[in-house]
Structure 1
Amino acid sequence: MVPICCIALLIISSFYVPKGQRYDDEAYDVYPIVITCQLERIIDGDTVVMQCPKAHDPRETSHRSVRIWGIDAPETGQKPWGKMATHTLTNIIGSHQTIELQVMAKDQYGRLLAKLFIQAQDVGLEMVEAGAAVVYARYNHDQDYINAQKRAKMSRLGIWQTAGAQQQPEQWRRLHP
């Protein structure tokens, strides 16, 4: 009787996922995780669509919307900075189709939140350095990003060319729901 109870407990416990760990058909067990994906298209200055390996079978892939972690780029309607941010991201990625992602989490819209790396270069950090995005201060406390933003501001690059509330994407979204 005791061995049967032990076996039953082992089987039941194998389905337990500890709090803080997430799993769904196209997510991963624990974040952060590093995966290599293929670029499909650039949506805007901080969102891309990638072909990524599935969690349960890495030989299979799926389309995933990926939000670049730690930055906030101007919205498409935030003229002229939205188009500039998309153009800058396009230039940074260039002809590179294979991109390494350090997936940090999933957001409320189901997008992967990830740092993107092309040959060990942090794409999000490059966006901030170019003045094409701001540090998402609520989530990103990385000093490299903060210093890059200070340099971009001092050099009046990208969105920092002209003073005004429209430069902060989060503020702009509040004014244009």
Structure 2
Amino acid sequence: MLKEDPLVPLDLAGFNTTPVDQAATLLAGCLEVPRWVDTVLDGRPYPSLAALRAVAAGITLTPEEIRRAMAAHPRIGERPTALSRSEQSGVDSTAADRFRAANTEYEQRFGHVFLIRAAGRGGEEMLAALRERMGNDPETELAVAGRELVEIALLRLEKAVTA
């Protein structure tokens, strides 16, 4: 499960030299997928933040990894973790009420929570995306959710490893 404590950021030099277990914990706070964490760790030392981001963004998650990682994410509009609270700040109480009903319908169709990179998006935009994605077949939707997970991880990585 995602940690409730916000990530303690490191600069790139610190990330490159911090012990593996500490760097792994930092990365797992971004995306709790062991293969993703290991792949990003294996790329150290990174010459730049862009190189780190490129490796992190280039990892395609398997369906099983997506399902396991989604289990750690709260529903949009419900009890966010410390990490997701700021990411979901665009969901006001009115949108949260509508999300509860939409989440139920989505979960009945796909069997998992609706996942979207919430940062920078308003509640209405995310609700419209949920409704649009209801037209996806389950395999397509799982792949979309996987891409959203990686986007969320990249935003968290940018906060966790700084210049």
- Name the structure where helix makes up a greater proportion of residues: 2
TM value normalised by structure 1:
0.26
Q: Considering only CA atoms, is the larger Rg found in Structure 1 or Structure 2?
A: 1
**Which structure ranks higher in relative contact order (CA pairs < 8 Å, sequence separation ≥ 6)?**
2
